[in-house]
Structure 1
Amino acid sequence: MTAAVMYEQGLPAPYAQSKPFRIEQVELDGPGEGEVLVEVRGAGLCHSDLSVIEGLRKRPLPVVGGHEGAGIVREVGRGVTGFAPGDHVAMAAVAGCGQCRTCLAGRPGLCQAVSGARAQGMLANGVRRLRLADGGQLNHYSGISVYAQYAVVVPQSLIKIDPDVPLDIAALFGCAVVTGAGAVFNSARVRPGATVAIFGLGGVGLTAVMAAREAGASRIIGIDVLTSKFDLARAVGATDCVDARDPNAVQQVLDLTNGGVDHAFEISGNLAALDMARKITVRGGEVVGVGVGNSSATFTVTHLPWVAEERVFRGSFMGGGVPQEDVPRYVDMYLRGRLPVDKLRSEQISFEQLNESFDLLHGGNVIRQVLLPHGR
């Protein structure tokens, strides 16, 4: 099958020239016991993928990229229940073992057993099904690798999707939607009347804006360094937008919210934005870290105000919930027009456009591009 393979991290932009992804033919074994073969019909380009290209988060190489996708089940391995050929599915990087203490607590994204396997370039069950054309080892990315025409995954990485949802849109539910909406509904549990600020108005951030509106937030402030994103942010629910580069940005938010927001969502993974998020929260408010940046980056918190002002710093990984429970609810919101996820899609692309499309993402010129591995 055709796939996009990364052999080296940290290559310089423009990526159209350095070509971090090579488009080539690779081998894929059929599904083993407890595995599912999916024909990939859409795969999103995410800032998390960009951070891997840049080398900010190391991955075992070579690897087939992509962690946000959707497709059609074509074959199920022995012992698989709940899925059958022809099912439409979204594919998510979150998959738990179902037996450890975090999985039993309803937090599969924190499953240490599965995280360890994924970090080594394997499926969640600890095996590899990909090979280079010469038979050499080829790694899986986040347990799914959707920059390819087909993927073998474990059922825990799949969520059935209503066939009424176009598969290129369904792909966005695997990361952008489940992460952004989950941060609002699961991690922060935003209540009606609350005030929120959202740093980074890409696919995840704009989904958080939509979710905050659905949650009944009274003030939703979108913050970004690119003012070109503000019109779309307002269209999906932002009540106000603030240019993060403005020296008075913090004061603007404080003035808009009578002293600070209840919840500040940092989506970009930028430490300067995280510090600004801290400054604009009200006493007793919380900063929710959603974006991931350099794996070695550190953030310092002053001890006394953290305690005396009862401030909360919370991480939210992939929406902090259970995708199999959350995604169907978000799909229902989409189909009823309450979560207009289709507005996130910037364009459909082919394998040949993949590297240059990451240049567009790096420049902030797009929201969500979707790779169509089989063409239009």
Structure 2
Amino acid sequence: MITCKAAVAEEAKKELVVKEVTVGPPQAGEVRVKILYTGVCHTDEYTRSGLDPEGLFPSILGHEGAGIVESIGEGVTSLEVGDHVVPLYIPQCRDCEFCNSSKTNLCGKIRSTQGIGVMPDGTPRFKDKDGNELYHFMGTSTFCQYTVCPEISLAKVNKEAPLDKICLLGCGITTGYGAVINTLKIEEGSTVAVIGLGGVGLAAIMGAHKSKASKIIAVDINPGKFERAILFGATDTLNPLEQKGKEMSELIFEMTDGVGVDYSIECVGTPHLMKQSFLSTKPNGGASCVIGVAAAGQTIDLSSEEVMGREWTGSAFGGTKSRDQVPELVDDYMKGDIKVDEFITHNFPLDDINDAFHAMHEGKCIRAIVKMFDDE
């Protein structure tokens, strides 16, 4: 057993409590990782805020981490002590029907146990100081100084890569960038609209720019985000609130000579924006991708006439085959082919992790990095 600190979500709608916990040794097929840095993502807040109907408490949140392998369980062959890793909330077993399919990245190997906050054998590895069990989160729980993950939920990465930067490739950047590269496969010369300019949206813009899109419209109601969007490759900006009485899709059609965009990507998570994003695409061959997650029970209504001629798809973790492609993204970052540092706007020590959530709500934070150990 290891005793360390973790930020525990004791109940919904309450701030996290940094407290002492114990972390059990890795069992067969598992790996224990010393987490050095973690990002704070809107998905963490979605659960903490109580909006997630499947949220479990008390739990250790966090899913944008990076660290070093501390110990391995029986049967682990792809990792060894000292390896640098990025935990993966979507595993890749490389063996199931879904891993062997080119149509999806959603490995089904441990989905049932991951969804109920335990390890594949049905038990947790976390306990508080009184011996009470704590739930795991998304199979990663990176808000703990040490975490235990299945071997198939860890990407081995270049040891030269800075862990305080590449932790972000565990979710947001990979999600937005991958939606463009893997899911939509945007072609050179295409026109693109990206709705929502948080970390995921900026990464989608980066992907569109990398794909040599001819027009990239960055959409947000916070004009303070436009300068950064242009840095990432946006050619045009749109604040729908500035033109009352017109829907976002109408404005995008006006910006594209009345034809709409080839591709749109919704990164906010509201049904109205999902619909408007879809309707902003060309009615004869446009395609829209939903990344944002709407609150439970919310639905979207579209007529058959609106759907006809367009394609609609979703994307989880950017369609990324996690263990194969995350190391490639780390290498791309090291070569300067993709941006990572530019997403980071705030840094906090673990004891101040709640300030990272506050910064997120203030609208000025793209990504906050939490340093897990004071002396590292």
Q: Name the TM-score, length of structure 2 as normaliser.
A: 0.92
AA aligned opposite 2:292: G
2:301 is the counterpart of 1:305 = no
C-alpha distance in structure 2 between counterparts of 1:126 and 1:362, whole Å: 35
Q: Which residue of 1 aligns with 2:273?
A: 273
C-alpha distance in structure 1 between counterparts of 2:19 and 2:270, whole Å: 34
Given the alignment, which residue of 151, 158, 162 partners 2:154? Answer: 158
Could you say if the C-alpha distance between residues 244 and 341 of structure 1 is closer, same or farther in structure 2, counting changes exceeding 3 Å? farther
C-alpha distance in structure 2 between counterparts of 1:106 and 1:3, whole Å: 37
Q: Which residue of 2 aligns with 1:15?
A: none
Consecutive aligned runs of 4 or more in structure 1 exceeding 6 Å deviation:
none
Q: Which residue of 1 aligns with 2:175?
A: 179
Could you say if the C-alpha distance between residues 61 and 274 of structure 1 is closer, same or farther in structure 2, counting changes exceeding 3 Å? same
2:230 is the counterpart of 1:231 = no
Could you say if the C-alpha distance between residues 97 and 326 of structure 1 is closer, same or farther in structure 2, counting changes exceeding 3 Å? closer
AA aligned opposite 1:93: Y
Could you say if the C-alpha distance between residues 128 and 329 of structure 1 is closer, same or farther in structure 2, counting changes exceeding 3 Å? same
1:339 to partner: Cα distance: 1.0
1:89 to partner: Cα distance: 1.1
1:165-216, Cα deviation, whole Å (9 max, x unpaired) = 2111110000012211110111101111111111111111111111111111
Q: Retained in 1: the 8 A contact 2:193–2:265?
A: yes
Q: Which residue of 2 aligns with 1:201?
A: 197
AA aligned opposite 1:297: Q
Q: Retained in 2: the 8 A contact 1:38–1:72?
A: yes
AA aligned opposite 1:361: M
Q: Retained in 2: the 8 A contact 1:225–1:244?
A: yes
AA aligned opposite 1:65: L
**For residues 1-376 of structure 1, what are the structure 2 equivalents within 5 Å?**
1-9=4-12, 11=13, 19-57=14-52, 58-106=54-102, 109-124=105-120, 126-246=122-242, 247=244, 248=246, 249-258=248-257, 259-283=259-283, 284-307=285-308, 310-375=309-374
Moved more, 245-254 or 36-45: 245-254
Question: SS of the counterpart of 1:348?
Answer: strand
C-alpha distance in structure 1 between counterparts of 2:68 and 2:281, whole Å: 43
Q: Retained in 1: the 8 A contact 2:34–2:67?
A: yes
Question: SS of the counterpart of 1:101?
Answer: coil
C-alpha distance in structure 2 between counterparts of 1:214 and 1:345, whole Å: 20
Question: SS of the counterpart of 2:286?
Answer: strand
Q: Retained in 2: the 8 A contact 1:66–1:144?
A: yes
Q: Retained in 2: the 8 A contact 1:59–1:121?
A: no
C-alpha distance in structure 2 between counterparts of 1:32 and 1:7, whole Å: 26
Q: Retained in 2: the 8 A contact 1:117–1:124?
A: yes
C-alpha distance in structure 2 between counterparts of 1:350 and 1:244, whole Å: 37
Provide the identity percentage: 34
1:108 to partner: Cα distance: 6.8
Question: SS of the counterpart of 2:289?
Answer: strand
Aligned length: 366
AA aligned opposite 1:243: N
Question: SS of the counterpart of 1:103?
Answer: coil
Q: Name the TM-score, length of structure 1 as normaliser.
A: 0.92
C-alpha distance in structure 2 between counterparts of 1:159 and 1:112, whole Å: 17
1:158 to partner: Cα distance: 1.1
Query: What do you get for the CA RMSD once the two structures are aligned?
Result: 1.7
C-alpha distance in structure 2 between counterparts of 1:126 and 1:180, whole Å: 32
Question: SS of the counterpart of 2:179?
Answer: helix
Moved more, 121-130 or 148-157: 121-130
Q: Retained in 1: the 8 A contact 2:349–2:371?
A: yes
Ranges in structure 2 where 5+ consecutive residues have no aligned partner: none
Q: Retained in 2: the 8 A contact 1:106–1:321?
A: no
AA aligned opposite 2:111: S
C-alpha distance in structure 2 between counterparts of 1:250 and 1:262, whole Å: 13
1:286-339, Cα deviation, whole Å (9 max, x unpaired) = 1100111312221112123312xx111101011113012222222232222221
Ranges in structure 1 where 5+ consecutive residues have no aligned partner: 12-18
C-alpha distance in structure 2 between counterparts of 1:108 and 1:256, whole Å: 33
1:236 to partner: Cα distance: 1.2
Q: Retained in 2: the 8 A contact 1:122–1:139?
A: yes
Q: Retained in 2: the 8 A contact 1:42–1:372?
A: yes
